[in-house]
Amino acid sequence: MSTLDSVRRAQETPDERQPYAELGMKDDEYQRVREILGRRPTSSELAIYSVMWSEHCSYKSSKVHLRQFGTKAPKSEALLVGMGENAGVVDIGDGWAATFKIESHNHPSYVEPHQGAATGVGGIVRDIMSMGARPVAVMDALRFGGADQPDTRRVLPGVVEGISHYGNCLGLPNIGGEVAFDPCYIGNPLVNALCVGLLRKDQIKLATAPGPGNKVVLFGARTGADGIGGASVLASATFEDESQAKRPAVQVGDPFMEKLLIECCLELYQADVVVGIQDLGAAGVSCATTELAAKGTGGMEVDLNLVPLRDPTLRPEEILMSESQERMMAVVTPDDIPAFMAICDKWDVPATVIGEVTDTGRLVMTWDGEVIVDIPPGTAADEGPVYERPFHEPAGQAALNADGPERLPRPEDLRETLLTLLGSPNLGSKEWVTSQYDRYVRGNTVLAQPADAGMLRISEVMPGAQETTRGIALATDGNGRYAKLDPYTGAQLALAEAYRNVAVTGAKPLAVTNCLNFGSPEDPEVMWQFSEAVRGLADACRTLGVPVTGGNVSFYNQTGSTAINPTPVVGVLGVIDDVAQRVRSGFTAAGLRVLLLGETREEFGGSEWAHVVHGHLGGLPPQADLEAERGLAAVLTEAAARGLLEGSHDLSDGGLAVALAEACLAQGVGCTVTLPGEDAFVELFSESAARALVCVRPEAFEALADLCARHEVPCSGLGLTGGSALTVEGVLDVPVEELREVHSSALPRVFG
Amino acid sequence: MSAARVGVVTFPGTLDDQDAARAVRLAGAEAVPLWHADHDLKGVDAVFLPGGFSYGDYLRCGAISRFSPLMTELIPAAQAGLPVLGTCNGFQILCEAHLLPGALTRNEGLHYICRDQRIRVESTRTAWTTDFTDGQEIVLPIKHGEGRYVADADTLAALESEGRVVFRYAGGNPNGSLNDIAGITNEAGNIVGLMPHPEHAVEDLTGAPSVDGRHFFTSILKRLVNA
C-alpha cells in the first residue's frame, strides 16, 4: 500500500521524483504547477493538473485558433449561451431553446469499438442534460477505413452495435448522421456523436458553484476503475502497437443508469432544486470540481472518502481520474437537499453530498482527514498552457493541387458509372447501419435518415411548456478529401452542405457545432491544416450568419507519421416555424415537375467519381460559393413555408446523377429528365456545391421560378416525376428496382 | 359520460410511455400514468404496457419487471378480464408474467432491427383488434433485438388451432419468430402482446409512414364505451 501523499508530506519532501512525464506532462508544464503551488504538487494534485492540462481537456494547441469562432462570429440574436459551456444554447422561438453539440470518441472506439462508441453517446447526452435540457435526439458522424479492409470489419460492427445498444436503451431517437469510408481512417476511425436537447428559454442551467455553504452532490453511478487516465493517456497520445494494453482505459457504459439520470435530472430541474450542475466526462471528479469551483464563488471543500465506490480499493488519485460513466455533480442549497435526495431516491439514483462551496478561492480535498489537494481551481480549469504551435503548408500540397482530375479518362457508359457509384460503400444505402437504431422513440420524429436532415416536432418535452408549431432540423456533414485538397475550402464546404441539408427540409439554419478531427498538432503540416480549416469555417459562419455555439477538437488521429485526412465535421441546427410544412425527401408522387436549383461547373477534384473509379485524389475541391448557398437556402425555406415544394434533395457526393437516383429511391417514384447542358458527364457527376433538386406541382412552377429569380438562384426545369425508371433522355435509363438492388446491397455485401 | 381510462405503465427504463399515452389520447381516451412501484391500478379500464428496456433488461427482458408491485396488481386483474396490451418490452413482460405463453428470444440475425414492417391481422376477435378486418395487411414499425417468438410444439399448435395468433409478419420474417408470429392473445382475448409498435403509427406527421396503429385504440375504446 502506498503512503498517502498529503500536502504536508509534499512540503516535507520537495525533491521527491514525480511521474509527470508518464502522465503526459511536459517538463515546463510540471514546473509551472510547482510555481503555482509554491511547492511540489501532491500525487492527487498532479493527477488533477495532468488531466486538466491534457490536450483533450485544455485545448492547449487549438485555443489560439478557435478564438476566431468568437471574434468573427456573426451577430445573432438567437445565441443564448455561446462557446465555453457544456453546450451552446440557441433561441428557437415561442419561449423554447435548443442546445446541441457534437463530440468525438475516436480513440476509445478504435481500442474497444462497442464501449468506445457507446460511451461517446453517453457523454454527449450528459453534456446536453447539464444545460437543463431534455435530450431529444442523437446523430452520429462515422468514418472508417476502406470497407474492404479487414480491420473495418472489426471496428464498424462494434461501433454500430455500441451506438445501437446505448442509444436505443436510452430512448433517444437516432435521426441522422453520416457513414463514410476511406483508407486514411483505417487505424483511426472517427466516431463523432451529436446530441440535441430542448428546454424552456428561462430554464438554462450552467456549470457553476456559487454560494458558500451550498452542498456539492455527486449523483448517478458509483465510481470504479474504468477509464483511469483515459483523458490524458488515450486522447492525447498517438497509438502505436500497444493499444491492446490500453483496453482497461476505455470506460464501460450503462445506458439504463443514464436513462434514469435523464428523468431524474428533469425532475430536479422541474422542482427547481439545482443551483449549478456539471456532468462528469473526461477527467471525472477532477474536471467537475475544478470547473464548478472556478466558475462559482471560487472555492470548494470535498471529502473524497465520501465518493461512493464500485471498487473499494481505489486510491484518491484514481478516484480523481476515473472516467466512470453516468455521473453528475450538482450544487444544491442546504434547504433543498431533502427534496433533491427524494427525487434521486424515486429514480433509484444514488446521490451523496461530498462537499460544500466556500469563498476561500481554494479547492481543498481531504482523504482520511488529511489535506491532499489545495489549489486555486482556476489554475487547473482555465489557466492551462496555451501553445502557439508552428505550422506550415505541407511539402506536397502544391503538387497535390497541381495533379487535377482533368487528366483522368472520362467514361463512355454513364449508366455504368452511375451504378458503380451508387453501389460504392460511400454512396450505397446506409440502412445496414441505421436499421440498428431506433428512430421513432418519443414519437416526435418528423424526418430521419435517409432524409437530408433529421427533424423533430417540439412537443411534450417539458410539462407546462408553451405549445408551439415549431420544429428543429439537424444535419452533419464533412468531407475529408475536400479538406485534404484545401482545408480552408473543405471546412467551408462541410458547413455549406450541412446548412443546405437543413434548408432542403424547409428549416432555416440557425447555429453551428463542429468536431475537428485532425492528426498530431506537433506536426506543423497538420497544424497548418487545422489553422486553415478553422479560419475557413469561422469566415464561412460569418458569411452565412450562423454562429458556432460549441464543439470539440480531436487531435492525434494518426498512426506513426501518417495522419488522417483533415476532417472537420460540421453540424447545423435549423428551425421551421410550422413543422407540418416540412419538405419530404425525394420524389413524393408522379406528375411533379423536377427542377435543379443552382449552377453546375466542371468540378471533379476530390469527387466520388475520381475516388471510386480512379482511386484519385488531387486538384482542388469545388468552389465554396457562400453567397449562392445563402440564396439557395432562402429560396428553399421560403418555398417550403409557402407550400410550393412537394419534395427536395440536396446535391452533394456523386452530383446530380446520384441525387436523382436517391430521389427516385425515396418513395419508389421514377422520373424522366433532360439535361440542360452540353456535357452529360459533367452535368451528371460534377460535385458543384450550392445546388438542390426539388419537385413541385406544375401549377407551383411559376411561383418557384419567380422566387429563384428574386434570390438570383439559377433554376432549370429538368422534367417530370413518374414511371418506374430513372430516365435521362438520350443518356441513361435504369429501372428503380435495379437502382434499389445496387444501392441496398452495397454494405450487406461487405458486412453480411 | 366520462372518457375511458387507459393506464400506461412506466417502469424504470420504459421508453415508449410518452408515445403510448399520446396514442391513447388521440383515440379519445384518458391516459392514466401508472408507476411500477405502486400497488395501484388507479381504477383504469384497460392497461397498456409500452416498450423499452425495463430495469435495463440486463437479465432476461421483462424478467425483473414481472415482479414489480404494479405487476402483482395487474396479473390478477388481467386474469379476471381487464384488457391489457403489451408491445415490445410489454409483450416480453406479459410472457415473463405467464399471462401469455411462450417467450421472446434474440433475433435470428443477432442485430437490433428498426424498420417499417408489413403485418397481417389474423384475428379480430380480441379486445384490441375489432376495428381491423381479418386478413388485413397493415404497416407498423418494429424495433427490437429480442423479438423472436418461440414456444413448444404443443403451445404453438394450441395457439394456431384456437385462433390466438393475432398478428403475423408478412413480406419476410424479420427475426426468425416461429410460424412468423408477431403477436398473440390469451384464451379470453383480453390480453394481447405483440412486438410491433402501434403507438408509433398513429399520426401522419411523425413515426412510421402509416396510421394503422390507430385501430388498436379505437377498438378498445369502442369496447369500453359499449361495455
Q: 445506458: which residue's cell?
A: A255
B17 CB within 8 Å of a chain A CB: no
The pLDDT mean for chain A works out to: 93
Q: Given an 8 Å threshold on Cβ–Cβ distance, is A436 in contact with B55?
A: no
| H or E element that contains A628 | helix A626-641
**pLDDT level of residue A212 (50, 70, 90 thresholds):** very high
Cell of A744: 441496398
Which has more pLDDT, A624 or A56? A624
Q: Which of A436, A442, A582 sits opposite B111 (nearest CB)?
A: A436
Distance separating alpha carbons of residues A436 and A177, to the nearest angstrom: 13
Distance separating alpha carbons of residues A507 and A89, to the nearest angstrom: 18
Would you say B53 and B11 are in contact if contact means Cβ atoms under 8 Å apart?
Answer: no
Tally Cβ neighbours within 10 Å of residue A440: 27
Q: Given an 8 Å threshold on Cβ–Cβ distance, is A165 in contact with B22?
A: no
Q: Which of A254, A436, A457 sits opposite B206 (nearest CB)?
A: A457
Q: Which of B56, B114, B115 sits opposite A256 (nearest CB)?
A: B56
Distance separating alpha carbons of residues A89 and A197, to the nearest angstrom: 9
- Tell me the percentage of chain A whose pLDDT exceeds 70: 96
> What DSSP letter does each residue of A73-85 carry, written as one string?
PPP-TTEEE-BTB
Torsions phi, psi for A334 (to 5 deg): -55, -35
Give the pLDDT score at A241: 43
**One-letter-per-residue 3-state SS of A166-201:** HHHHHCCCEEEEEEEECHHHCCCCEEEEEEEEEEEH
Give the pLDDT score at A582: 97
Quick one: DSSP state of residue A699? G
A and B: number of Cβ contacts within 8 A: 86
Q: What b/e sequence results for A5-39 when a residue is b if at least 16 CB atoms lie within 10 Å of its CB, and e otherwise?
A: bbbebbeeeeeeebebeebbbeeebbebbeebbeb
Q: Chain B: nearest CA to A316, how far in angstroms? A: 30
Give the pLDDT score at A239: 43
Find the range with the poorest average confidence among A454-468, A504-518, A544-558, A630-644.
A454-468
B53 CB within 8 Å of a chain A CB: yes
Q: Which residue of A has its CA nearest to B205?
A: A446
Q: Given an 8 Å threshold on Cβ–Cβ distance, is A435 in contact with B207?
A: no
| pLDDT per position as a tens digit, A453-505 | 999 999 777 666 678 999 999 999 999 999 999 999 999 999 999 999 999 99
Among A63, A162, A183, A69, CA closest to A527: A63
Q: Which residue of A has its CA nearest to B112?
A: A436
B106 CB within 8 Å of a chain A CB: no
Q: Which residue of B has its CA nearest to A255?
A: B56
* CA distances for A692 relative to A396, A633, A640, A702, B206, angstroms: 34, 10, 14, 18, 24
Give the pLDDT score at A249: 61
Q: 506536397: which residue's cell?
A: A396
Quick one: DSSP state of residue A239? B
Options 3.40.640.10, 3.40.50.300, 2.160.10.10, 3.90.650.10; CATH of A583-752: 3.90.650.10
Q: Which residues of chain A have a CB within 8 Å of the CB of B58?
A: 256
Q: Which of B56, B112, B205 sits opposite A580 (nearest CB)?
A: B205
Q: Which residues of chain B have a CB within 8 Å of the CB of A168?
A: 53, 112, 143, 145
Helix (H, G, I), strand (E, B) or coil at A247: helix
Cell of B95: 410472457
User: Would the pTM of this model clear 0.90, i.e. be above it?
Assistant: yes
Q: Which residue of A has its CA nearest to B143?
A: A438
Give the pLDDT score at A248: 55
Give the angle subtended at the CA of A85 by the CAs of A80 and A86, to the nearest 5°.
110
Q: Which of B22, B113, B197 sits opposite A435 (nearest CB)?
A: B113
Among A538, A532, A713, CA closest to A621: A532
Quick one: DSSP state of residue A583? P
Q: Given an 8 Å threshold on Cβ–Cβ distance, is B22 in contact with A435?
A: no
Q: Given an 8 Å threshold on Cβ–Cβ distance, is B56 in contact with A446?
A: no
Would you say A582 and A641 are in contact if contact means Cβ atoms under 8 Å apart?
Answer: no
| pLDDT per position as a tens digit, B16-67 | 999 999 999 999 999 999 999 999 999 999 999 999 998 888 888 888 888 8
Q: Which residue of B has its CA nearest to A169?
A: B53
Residue type, A517: N
Q: Which of A171, A254, A435 sits opposite B15 (nearest CB)?
A: A171
Interface probe for B, chosen from A432, A438, A445, A751 (most Cβ of B below 10 Å), is A438
| pLDDT per position as a tens digit, A231-276 | 444 333 444 444 434 445 667 789 999 999 999 999 999 999 999 9
Residue type, A729: E
Interface probe for B, chosen from A169, A430, A433 (most Cβ of B below 10 Å), is A169
Give the pLDDT score at A464: 67
Cell of A735: 429501372
Q: Which residues of chain B have a CB within 8 Å of the CB of A443?
A: 16, 18-19, 22, 199-200, 203, 206-207
Cell of A272: 427547481
Q: Reading across the β-sheet that carries A215-220, which strands appear in turn?
A: A276-279, A327-332, A215-220, A351-358, A299-303, A363-367, A370-375
Cis preceding-peptide flag for A698 (omega within 30 of 0): no
Residue type, A694: V
Q: Which of B13, B114, B143 sits opposite A256 (nearest CB)?
A: B13
B157 CB within 8 Å of a chain A CB: no
CB-neighbour burial class of residue A516 (10 A; exposed 0-12, middle 13-18, buried 19+)? buried
Q: Given an 8 Å threshold on Cβ–Cβ distance, is A259 in contact with B115?
A: no
A114 catalytic? Reply is no
Distance separating alpha carbons of residues A514 and A499, to the nearest angstrom: 13
For chain B, which residues make up each domain, given as ranges?
Answer: 5-226
Q: Which residues of chain A have a CB within 8 Å of the CB of B197?
A: 440
Quick one: DSSP state of residue A223? B
Q: 432491427: which residue's cell?
A: B113
Q: Which residues of chain B have a CB within 8 Å of the CB of A255?
A: 53, 56
Q: Given an 8 Å threshold on Cβ–Cβ distance, is B114 in contact with A437?
A: yes
| pLDDT per position as a tens digit, A65-87 | 999 999 998 888 889 888 777 88
Tally Cβ neighbours within 10 Å of residue A1: 5
Q: Which residue of A has its CA nearest to B14?
A: A171
Give the pLDDT score at A233: 44
* CA distances for A436 relative to A103, B108, B145, B151, angstroms: 21, 14, 9, 26
| pLDDT per position as a tens digit, A289-314 | 999 999 888 899 999 999 999 988 88
N residues, chain A: 752
* CA distances for B96 relative to A340, A542, B62, B65, B152, angstroms: 35, 58, 6, 9, 15
Instruction: Provide the CA A684 distance to its chain's centre, in angstroms.
Output: 31
Q: Which residue of B has its CA nearest to A254?
A: B56
**One-letter-per-residue 3-state SS of B29-87:** CEEEEEECCCCCCCCCCEEEECCECHHHHCCCCCCCHHHCHHHHHHHHHHHCCCCEEEE
Q: Which residues of chain B have a CB within 8 Å of the CB of A257?
A: 56
Q: Chain A: nearest CA to B115, how far in angstroms? A: 6
Per-residue pLDDT for A420 more than 60? Answer: yes
Q: Given an 8 Å threshold on Cβ–Cβ distance, is B18 in contact with A442?
A: yes
Q: Given an 8 Å threshold on Cβ–Cβ distance, is B143 in contact with A580?
A: no
Quick one: DSSP state of residue B3? P
User: What's the CA dihedral at A605, A607, A612, A613 to 10 degrees?
Assistant: -60
Let me know if domain B5-226 sits in CATH 3.90.79.10: no
Average pLDDT estimate for B199-212: 95
User: What's the CA dihedral at B184, B187, B190, B192 to 10 degrees?
Assistant: -10
| H or E element that contains A314 | none
Residues of B noted as catalytic? 88, 197, 199
Give the pLDDT score at A245: 43
